[in-house]
Amino acid sequence: MADGSNRSLKQILIFTDLDGSLLDEKTYDFDPALPALRLIHSLRIPLILVSSKTRAEIEFFRRRLSLDSPFIVENGGGIFFPTTFELPKDQPYERLNGYNAIVIGRPIREVLERVSKLKERFRFKGFSEMPPEEIASVTGLKLDEAILASKREFDEPIVLEDPLDNSETFCKKASELGLDCVPGGRFIHLFLGGDKGRAVEVSLTIYRQLRGPVFSIALGDSPNDISMLEVVDKAVLMQGKHCGHVNGLVHPDLIKTEGSGPGVWNKVILSFLADFV
């Protein structure tokens, strides 16, 4: 565990999940985190959003949060850098939707081809099969936000419809088809090759190349956050949707919070940054 004096010599990077972490699980509000967000801005610390949400959804929240840092979409499917962010000269990327993007996951059309084979064994419904009105109903999003959630590029969230099925059995079958299958806060996520941890590692490598030593902290609450939390210097595991902590995370510098959402997020970040103010 690095002490404050060592950290102060390094570039600080903050990676965060959204739903249940920076955002309230039900209302998607982040107002209780505003004191920490203001401090992050004043210290010019990159706040990198890492979510199962789509690029369109994260763009919406980046505008509201006044962020200009890179962001990671759809469980690590891609890392999107603003064109003003100068990537290392030897870093491959592609121009995508006005960003310099490092694509990690396979396109959604390839994911859906394999997902269709699971229909032979399970009853479930994915976002690709839902109109925006239905997505709004199952997520609690407003209709315009649900439209943004439907714009999938790498990841298919699904809902099991048979109470006799469970995520463990479903994911085992999905893995036999080569799919990555990870339960999130609300849905089971199916994708190919995307990984929050891998995307965070790529981001860390780029920042090290550009800025030198870094100290990284990540905050998350769901099984799909574990890979992200494993690769940073300090991991913050928020309580999950059902008031417990997900299993499977081993980390030498781990904080398990009591509670979740933006108020707890705010408290953790202010405590972490106390050495810098």
d(CA 59, CA 56): 5
d(CA 70, CA 85): 8
Q: Which of 71, 51, 73 is nearest to 186 (CA)?
A: 51
Within its chain, how far is the Cα of 190 from the centroid?
14
Q: Is the dihedral of CA 95, 152, 75, 12 positive or negative?
A: positive
* Residue 24 is a catalytic residue: no
β partners of residue 188: 158, 183
Residue tagged active-site, from 17, 19, 24, 195: 17
Asked whether the beta carbons of 217 and 15 are under 8 A apart, the reply is: yes
Q: Helix crossing, 262-272 with 34-42: angle to 10°?
A: 40
| Number of helical (H) and strand (E) elements in the chain, helices listed first | 10, 13
d(CA 221, CA 236): 8
d(CA 237, CA 244): 10
d(CA 259, CA 224): 18
Catalytic residues: 17
